[in-house]
Structure 1
Amino acid sequence: MKKLLCLAALFGASLLQAEAQGQAAKKTLSHDVYDSWNALGGDELSRNGQYVLYSINPQEGDGALHIRNLQRNATSTYSRGTKASFSTDSRYAVFQIKPEHDKVRALKLKKKKGDDLPKDSLAIVKLEDMSVVKLPRVKSYKLPKEGSGWLAYHLEKPLPEKKEDKKTEAAEGEAKAEAKKPALKPNKDAKGTDLVLRNLSTGQEHRFPRVVDYIFSEQGNMLYFVKDELDSLHRAGVFAFNTAELKELPIDTGLVTYKGISTDKVGNQLAYVATADTLKADIRYFSLNYWNTKDRKKQVLADTVAKGMPQNWMVSEHGSLNFSEDGKRLFFGTFPRPVRYEKDTTQLEEDKVSLDIWTYKDPLIQPMQLKQNDRTLKRSFLAMYDLRGGKMQQLATLEMPDVYLDANKTGDVALGVSDEKYKITIGYDTPTRKDAFLIDLKKGTVKQVLTESRGNPRLSPMGKYVYWYEPLDSSWHVLGTKGGASLNLTKKAAVPFYEEDNDMPMLPGSYGLAGWVEGDSHLLVYDRHDIWQLDPTGKKAAVNLTDTYGRQNNLRLRYEKLDPEEKFIPANAELVLAGFNYETKAAGYYKDYVGRSAQPQPLISSDHAYTSLSKAQNSNRVTFRRGDYRNYNDLYTSDLSFAKVDKLTDSNPQTAEYKWGTVELVDWKSTDGIPLQGLLYKPENFNPNKKYPMMVYFYERSSDGIHNHRVPAPSASVINIPLFVSNDYLVFVPDIVYQDGYPGESAMDCIIPGVQMLVQQGFVDEKNMALQGQSWGGYQIAYMVTRTHLFKAAMAGAPVSNMTSAYGGIRWGTGLSRQFQYERTQSRIGGTLWEKPMQFIENSPLFFADRVKTPLLIMHNDNDGAVPWYQGIEYFMALRRLNKPVWMLVYNGEEHNLMERKNRKDLSVRMSQFFDHYLKGAPAPVWMEQGVPSVVKGKNYGLELVAEPEVAGEAKE
């Protein structure tokens, strides 16, 4: 017996030793692993549910497209496949093949660009036997939305022919014959290339030259395309090809520009805009044109002199063309004719004055106007042409620019919405006020039905009701389009429909809506937990569709729209609901019904994040993503019962080779006694008896994302959590709640008690803790280091440091005044600078810069469109003058968050160097110790280390 016990003990010790060795063999995440980490995307189910395709691509380099036969459990892989689609009959998959990444990079190093670079190819896969046809130099392709059997693909310009040293006699004869023909003036601006129509079954192809645009009808019975002008014998025009008759039909030729081609649902009607004006014309006058397969005659439906066209208005070349579902109406865009300004040929360009004139009467301030110039120049106003009655009707106007139609565009009423009278208040009055109008599409009359609503009025799918959530009374409202008073549908319900967690000094928004039930019979909206069924007639009280199941079980239940083309929810629909448990953070899917009372039935639930649920159109087959902190959000499949779930992808198997760590939910109370939650990420093989350096990262609230997977990737602005955890850091992500007027103090009241709670548990090295955050998080850090010396180092990305100067500034990305942010939204001051001057000052780190002792790294880029760059400069200059340890990284031309991958990689390395130096005693890099003079910019990056490692916890201040 003793011998057995000894053997068991030895065996157990061996297992422990083997496990420890296995764990020790795991690698630490480093900055050089980013490029190989993969992303899953582009997944699509075939309509019959038998096939699924998806791409797995590294962050940098060549990926692959995978097509899986779900019946045979067999997968075919295609290198560099992208932009993939199934044919509607589920017989073919079509995709483009990108050129090799390294080959393109090598050519770019040789300064090659444009047509000198390799182009995409096209692949057609016959799913029955997985045979492949590949076609070179294809820039785009299209499949019919509903029909099958046809594919259209658009070719790149042909490669230039190689010059031959000697011409054959035949070639010389042809050249002489061509020389005798009249010379044609070629169009140097011609951009058209060959379009090819291919029969997928037979492989037969039809080729059309000089094409610049093309569309299929929904069923694929017609292919419409626009040709560019080559010369006087080959004019621009619009053409049709009947795929049943295999005939090309010229529709309209001879004008300079044709664009905006659009067809009706059946494919027998075509609309487009065209002009005879050249590209050099100051004003190009377009006409709205129409053609159908019955008459086969082009008609001009609208131009500047058309009946119904407002005076001095014209057809817009930028408006979208749309037929109604029944093909009886055509909707298009118009706009006021631009003012023609004569060119001053007596003035030199350098003598012209360039200035912006700001006036207090402008509806929009100049920066917003400038930012929206392109949109303003391309703006169009909705108009309608009745194809049966032969009449044009202008719907949108300058005073009422936004018009909404019913789902099928067949109803006799439209909804106009306007904030034009209130635009001058944009920037401080939020949500913006709006007026709403009902437009009678038969009589042409307009009636105002809402004044100064704070909501966003919309039209129900059948056009029977106007509906909106009104922030002023936190209720859902409807208004019948055929008359009657506005009805408050949720006033008598026993639960709130406003966002209960809203902690900004503004009217709270709603929880949203699931949609309308068939026939506009009911509106389905959300409270915090459940779905409510509202009777738009007001005759029946609001009904909890999910039978309070969400509230009883502390769940959030939300409708999953499985048909992307769905316009309304069927009257007897079986619903799939996404569920999330507020307490445990578990997620999954539930089943419920419209039209009958029954509690939701759990289908699947686990400690994961569930996303991207998709259903095959003609099958109960579904796919979805599932993952957690340790496991990538891979693709899974099941049927709608979710009884048997199969994993389809393993996108990042290398994850198992690295130290990853764990995440857990932690609870504490703020200084004011408010219960809070946060996330604590712990290193692999966490030892509670060991002390770890700790990073504290935050924004507002993050605890609901406990199961979110975080991929190792170069940072746009914040720490990459898996990287730091793998390098033996604790990472704490606390939730924050705010009090109006005290955003900085609120952050302190929530974060510091959470940190102290963790320190008391004994595994945090309280002498080596740091803060990191970006934007709003960056502001809170800039504030906190003026109030506490608890942290060894801090990094603040794009922080507001002076609310008094930031308040009067501009968000250059949108041209919007920053005032709204401080008065009503994220900054939460709750009043103007002149109403609450002391709160602006007290919440501004700049005024207390002399109190800072924490070494601070700032990133603030010179093209930041959200937080003015000078905010970082103000703080840096104050700390520099006070001789505080401060650095500022300014990535030239970069935005609020870094966009270019090279810059993200650089920032990631510098953040690691900064925090490793202060929290682990690692050597400081050159850029921290000596700086990088501007004369060596771009040549020496200062990333080299300059000192021997110091003892942990004794890095110099």
Structure 2
Amino acid sequence: MKKLLLVAALCGTGLLQAQAQQQTAKKPLSHEVYDSWKGLSGDRISNNGQYVLYNIDPQEGDGELYIRSMVRNATAKYSRGAKASFSNDSKFAVFQIKPEHQKVRALKLKKKKGDDLPKDSLAIVKLADMSVVKVPRVQSYKLPKEGSDWLAYQLEKPLPEKKEAPKDTAAVGEQKAESKKSTPKKNKDAKGTELVLRNLNTGQEHRFSRVVDYIFSEQGNMLYFVKDELDSLHHAGVFAFSTSDLKEMPIDTGLVTYKGISADKSGNQLAYVATADTAEADIRYFGLNYWNTKTRKKQVLADTVAKGMPQDWMVSEHGNLVFSEDGKRLFFGTFPRPVRYEKDTTQLEEDKVSLDIWTYKDPLIQPMQLKQNDRELKRSFLAMYDVKAGKMQQLATLEMPDVYLDAYKTGSVALGVSDEKYKITIGYDTPTRKDAYLIDLKKGTTKQFLSESRGNPRLSPMGKYVYWYEPMDSSWHAMSTKNGVNVNLTKKLNVPFYDVEFDMPMLPDDYGFAGWVEDDSYLLVYDQHDIWKLDPSGKKAAVNLTDKYGRQNSLRLRYEKLDPEQKFIPADAALYLSGFNIRTKADGYYKDYVGKEAKPEKLIGSDHAYTSLSKAKNDNLVTFRRGDFRNYNDLYTSDLSFANVQRLTDANPQAAAYKWGTVELVEWKSTDGIPLQGLLYKPENFDASKKYPMMVYFYERSSDGLHNHRVPAPSASVINIPLFVSNDYLVFVPDIVYKDGYPGESAMDCIIPGVQMLVQQGFVDDKNMALQGQSWGGYQIAYMVTRTNLFKAAMAGAPVSNMTSAYGGIRWGTGLSRQFQYERTQSRIGGTLWEKPMQFIENSPLFFADRVQTPLLIMHNDQDGAVPWYQGIEYFMALRRLQKPVWMLVYNGEDHNLMQRKNRKDLSVRMSQYFDHFLKGAPAPKWMEQGVPSVVKGKDYGLELVTEPEVAGELQE
């Protein structure tokens, strides 16, 4: 017995030692791991629920496509698969195969591009036995939405044939002469390539040359395509191919351009726009064309002289062509005929004046106009053609440009919405006011029913009601399109439907809505916790559909739409809901019902984040993503009971080899006594008796992301939390609440008490703490370092430093005036510069730059479209003149957040070097100590560490 106990003890000791060694063997995350860390995407379920496909791709390199047979419990893997789909009958999977990453990179190093680079291939997988047919050089493919037998794919241009050197030069000369006589002149701009229609079951193929565009009808009974002009013998045109009788039919040929092909639901009607004008014409006049399988004759339904076309208007080549559900109506776009300007052939290009003229009468300021030029040039106004009556009706106008239809486009009314009268206030008056109109689609009349609403009116699916949330009275409204009665649906309910946590000096928004119950019988809307069933006529009392279960249990219950094609919620439907606990941050799924009283039933829930719930079209199989800070959001499957959950993926098994850490929810009170929450990330094997350097990162509120997984990835602007935690940093992410007029002070009042609360627990090295944030977070940091010396170092990305100059600036990404941001939204001043000048100054770090003692790293890129680059420059120049330790990273050609991966990698390294130097005493890099002169830009990046100890000491002082 003693021997057994001794053996057990030795085994136990050995196990503990092995576990300890395993823990010790774990590596900290480094910048070198980014490329291999994988992401899950593209997951789909076959309609019969027997197959699931998904992609697992590294951040850089070749990924893999997986197809999982749920019946056989087997998985097939395909290298570089992408853009995958299942056929409607669940017999086939189709996807494109990307070229090898390294091969493409090697060719790019040789300056190859365009047609010299390898192209995608196509793979067709027969799911019954996973056999594969591959087709090289495929640029795109399409499957019919409902039909099952057919696949269409378009090939790339064929590779040029290698010509052999001629031997008989005289014979070649004769051949060339003969060729010139008989061969038509080819169109050098022709872009069409071969389109292949393949029967998935038989493998039979039909090929069509010179195709530039193609569509299937929903049922797959018709394939429509546009051909490009090749030469004088091969004209451009629109063609149809019937998959039932395997016949090709020319619909229209001989014009220059054909665009916008669109079929009705049955596939028997086709619409398109076409013109005889060449691309060089000043104005290209398009006509709306129509064809059907019954008459097989082309008709021009609308052009510049059509009855119903507004005077001096024309058919738009950019409008969407859409048939109503029943095929009786065709909707298309029109626009005013542009002014024709004669070309001045007497003036040299360098003599032409280039300027923008700003006037106070412009509805939109010039930067916004310039940003929207392309959209304005392609803008179209909705019109309708009644196919049966043969009548056109213009719906949208210059004064009422936005028109909305019911879900089926078969109703008797349309909704017009316009903010044209209020556009001049865009930039300081938000939310923008709107007027709304009802358009009678039978009589052709328009009637205004709403003025200066701050809401967003929409039509119910059947078109029986207009509905909207009105911020002015914090209520949901519905108005009958038949009798025009406007009913306030929530005024008498003792529950707020506005965002109660909203803390900007403007009208708060609503919590959203779930949808409409069939026949427009009820509207389902959200309060903070629950779902309400509202009778749009106002005759029946409002019902809390979830029986106040959400409020009673601190849950935020929201409808999960499992059918992406769903236009309404069936009256007898079971509702599947996400249920997020706003206090503990636990998540999960619940079940409730539209038509019967029952408290929500919890199906699954845990301390994880649950996302991306999806259901098979004809089966109860569902997939969803689940993860937390330590575990990647992998793909899981179950049935709708969630009783037997199966994990499908393990995207990043290598994570087990790295130190990861933990996250916990922490609570404290602000200086004003407001209860707050935040996230504290701790290193692996955290030891409360030790002291750790701490990073403090924040934006506004982040605590709801307690269970969010964060992938090691190069940073666009902020610290990568797993990387820092893995390298023995604490990371604190506090929530912030704001007082109007005092955004900087509000940040101080929330963050500093949270930091002090953690310091008091004994494990924070209060001599080595730092701040980091981007944009709004960057502003708050720029402000805080003028008010406290608590932190050893700070980094502010794209910070506003001078609210007085920023207020009058432009958001160059949109062309929008920045005034709205300071008066009504994020900056929260709550008034104009001339109304509250002192608050603009008091909240501007620039005016207090002389107080800064904390070393500061700024990143502000020269193409920043959100925060003007000069804001970073103003702060840097002030601190530089004051001889404060300050550095600024300016990535050329980059926007507000870095977009190019090479720059993200570079920033990630520099942030680590910067904070390791100040918080861990690591040597400073050359770029911090010596700078990088412009003459060596692109050759010397200054990333080498300067190892002389006196340098580190000097900088730390």
Q: TM range, normalised to the smaller chain?
A: over 0.9
1:921–1:955 Cα contact (<8 Å) kept: no
1:556 corresponding residue in structure 2: 556
Deviation at 1:583, TM superposition (A): 1.4
2:413 corresponding residue in structure 1: 413
1:566 corresponding residue in structure 2: 566
2:162 corresponding residue in structure 1: 162
1:95 corresponding residue in structure 2: 95
2:924–2:952 Cα contact (<8 Å) kept: no
Partner amino acid for 2:673?
Answer: G
2:769 corresponding residue in structure 1: 769
In 2, Cα distance between the equivalents of 1:691 and 1:156? 61
Deviation at 1:414, TM superposition (A): 0.2
**CA displacement, residues 115-140 of structure 1 (integer Å, 9 cap, x when unaligned):** 00000000000000110000000000
Deviation at 1:594, TM superposition (A): 0.5
Partner amino acid for 1:240?
Answer: A
Partner amino acid for 1:868?
Answer: P
1:921–1:949 Cα contact (<8 Å) kept: no
Do the aligned partners of residues 883 and 297 (structure 1) sit closer, same or farther apart at CA in structure 2, a change above 3 Å counting?
Answer: same
After the TM superposition, which residues 223-242 of structure 1 pair with which residues of structure 2 at under 5 Å, given as runs?
223-242=223-242
Q: Please report the TM-score for the alignment, with normalisation by the length of structure 1.
A: 0.98
1:816 corresponding residue in structure 2: 816
2:924–2:951 Cα contact (<8 Å) kept: no
Structure 1 residue 719 corresponds to structure 2 residue 719: yes
In 1, Cα distance between the equivalents of 2:825 and 2:642? 41
After the TM superposition, which residues 107-506 of structure 1 pair with which residues of structure 2 at under 5 Å, given as runs?
107-165=107-165, 179=179, 181-506=181-506
Deviation at 1:183, TM superposition (A): 4.0
In 1, Cα distance between the equivalents of 2:733 and 2:309? 59
After the TM superposition, which residues 6-17 of structure 1 pair with which residues of structure 2 at under 5 Å, given as runs?
11-17=11-17
1:50–1:71 Cα contact (<8 Å) kept: yes
In 2, Cα distance between the equivalents of 1:176 and 1:203? 40
Deviation at 1:864, TM superposition (A): 0.2
Partner amino acid for 1:554?
Answer: S
2:712–2:720 Cα contact (<8 Å) kept: yes
Q: Please report the TM-score for the alignment, with normalisation by the length of structure 2.
A: 0.98
Partner amino acid for 2:246?
Answer: L
Deviation at 1:21, TM superposition (A): 1.2
Deviation at 1:4, TM superposition (A): 7.3
2:42–2:83 Cα contact (<8 Å) kept: yes
**CA displacement, residues 746-796 of structure 1 (integer Å, 9 cap, x when unaligned):** 000000000000000000000000000000000000000000000000000
Partner amino acid for 2:522?
Answer: H
**CA displacement, residues 321-366 of structure 1 (integer Å, 9 cap, x when unaligned):** 0000000000000000000011111111111110000000000000
**CA displacement, residues 296-330 of structure 1 (integer Å, 9 cap, x when unaligned):** 00000000010000000000000000000000000
**CA displacement, residues 202-251 of structure 1 (integer Å, 9 cap, x when unaligned):** 11111000000000000000000000000010000000000111111000
Q: Which moved more, 1:173-182 or 1:43-52?
A: 173-182
1:921–1:950 Cα contact (<8 Å) kept: no
In 1, Cα distance between the equivalents of 2:181 and 2:302? 40
1:538 corresponding residue in structure 2: 538
Count the aligned residue pairs. Answer: 956
After the TM superposition, which residues 736-747 of structure 1 pair with which residues of structure 2 at under 5 Å, given as runs?
736-747=736-747
Deviation at 1:582, TM superposition (A): 1.1
After the TM superposition, which residues 511-522 of structure 1 pair with which residues of structure 2 at under 5 Å, given as runs?
511-522=511-522
2:678–2:733 Cα contact (<8 Å) kept: yes
Report the 3-state secondary structure (helix = DSSP H, G, I; strand = E; otherwise coil) of the residue aligned with 2:822. Answer: helix
In 2, Cα distance between the equivalents of 1:729 and 1:891? 27
Deviation at 1:7, TM superposition (A): 6.2
Report the 3-state secondary structure (helix = DSSP H, G, I; strand = E; otherwise coil) of the residue aligned with 2:956. Answer: coil
After the TM superposition, which residues 655-694 of structure 1 pair with which residues of structure 2 at under 5 Å, given as runs?
655-694=655-694
Do the aligned partners of residues 138 and 167 (structure 1) sit closer, same or farther apart at CA in structure 2, a change above 3 Å counting?
Answer: farther
In 1, Cα distance between the equivalents of 2:101 and 2:3? 63
1:922–1:948 Cα contact (<8 Å) kept: no
2:909 corresponding residue in structure 1: 909
Structure 1 residue 648 corresponds to structure 2 residue 648: yes
Deviation at 1:541, TM superposition (A): 1.4
1:892 corresponding residue in structure 2: 892
Deviation at 1:806, TM superposition (A): 0.3
Deviation at 1:66, TM superposition (A): 0.4
2:588–2:603 Cα contact (<8 Å) kept: yes
Deviation at 1:165, TM superposition (A): 3.9
1:878 corresponding residue in structure 2: 878
Partner amino acid for 2:451?
Answer: T
In 2, Cα distance between the equivalents of 1:784 and 1:838? 18
In 1, Cα distance between the equivalents of 2:311 and 2:602? 61
- What 5-or-longer segments of structure 1 have no aligned partner? none
Deviation at 1:177, TM superposition (A): 10
Deviation at 1:14, TM superposition (A): 3.5
Deviation at 1:184, TM superposition (A): 1.4
Deviation at 1:675, TM superposition (A): 0.4
Do the aligned partners of residues 481 and 827 (structure 1) sit closer, same or farther apart at CA in structure 2, a change above 3 Å counting?
Answer: same
1:434–1:453 Cα contact (<8 Å) kept: yes
Do the aligned partners of residues 902 and 580 (structure 1) sit closer, same or farther apart at CA in structure 2, a change above 3 Å counting?
Answer: same
1:592 corresponding residue in structure 2: 592
1:154–1:196 Cα contact (<8 Å) kept: yes
Structure 1 residue 70 corresponds to structure 2 residue 70: yes
Deviation at 1:182, TM superposition (A): 3.2
1:574–1:592 Cα contact (<8 Å) kept: yes
Report the 3-state secondary structure (helix = DSSP H, G, I; strand = E; otherwise coil) of the residue aligned with 1:624. Answer: strand
Deviation at 1:185, TM superposition (A): 1.7
1:922 corresponding residue in structure 2: 922
1:939 corresponding residue in structure 2: 939
In 1, Cα distance between the equivalents of 2:722 and 2:68? 31
**CA displacement, residues 187-209 of structure 1 (integer Å, 9 cap, x when unaligned):** 11000000000011111111000
**CA displacement, residues 428-451 of structure 1 (integer Å, 9 cap, x when unaligned):** 000000000000000000000000
**CA displacement, residues 482-522 of structure 1 (integer Å, 9 cap, x when unaligned):** 12321100011121000000000000000000000000000
In 1, Cα distance between the equivalents of 2:715 and 2:876? 22
Partner amino acid for 2:319?
Answer: G
After the TM superposition, which residues 624-639 of structure 1 pair with which residues of structure 2 at under 5 Å, given as runs?
624-639=624-639
2:923–2:952 Cα contact (<8 Å) kept: no
Report the 3-state secondary structure (helix = DSSP H, G, I; strand = E; otherwise coil) of the residue aligned with 1:229. Answer: coil
Do the aligned partners of residues 208 and 839 (structure 1) sit closer, same or farther apart at CA in structure 2, a change above 3 Å counting?
Answer: same
Report the 3-state secondary structure (helix = DSSP H, G, I; strand = E; otherwise coil) of the residue aligned with 1:515. Answer: strand
Report the 3-state secondary structure (helix = DSSP H, G, I; strand = E; otherwise coil) of the residue aligned with 1:637. Answer: strand
Do the aligned partners of residues 270 and 722 (structure 1) sit closer, same or farther apart at CA in structure 2, a change above 3 Å counting?
Answer: same
Structure 1 residue 790 corresponds to structure 2 residue 790: yes
Deviation at 1:15, TM superposition (A): 3.3
In 2, Cα distance between the equivalents of 1:4 and 1:849? 73
Do the aligned partners of residues 180 and 314 (structure 1) sit closer, same or farther apart at CA in structure 2, a change above 3 Å counting?
Answer: closer
**CA displacement, residues 276-304 of structure 1 (integer Å, 9 cap, x when unaligned):** 00000111000000000000000000000
Deviation at 1:12, TM superposition (A): 4.4
In 1, Cα distance between the equivalents of 2:592 and 2:269? 42
Deviation at 1:179, TM superposition (A): 2.7
2:512–2:526 Cα contact (<8 Å) kept: yes
In 2, Cα distance between the equivalents of 1:941 and 1:279? 47
2:190–2:228 Cα contact (<8 Å) kept: yes
1:854 corresponding residue in structure 2: 854
Do the aligned partners of residues 2 and 841 (structure 1) sit closer, same or farther apart at CA in structure 2, a change above 3 Å counting?
Answer: farther
Partner amino acid for 1:509?
Answer: D
- Aligned CA RMSD, in angstroms, stands at 1.6
1:699 corresponding residue in structure 2: 699
- What 5-or-longer segments of structure 2 have no aligned partner? none
**CA displacement, residues 22-55 of structure 1 (integer Å, 9 cap, x when unaligned):** 1110011000000000010000000000000000
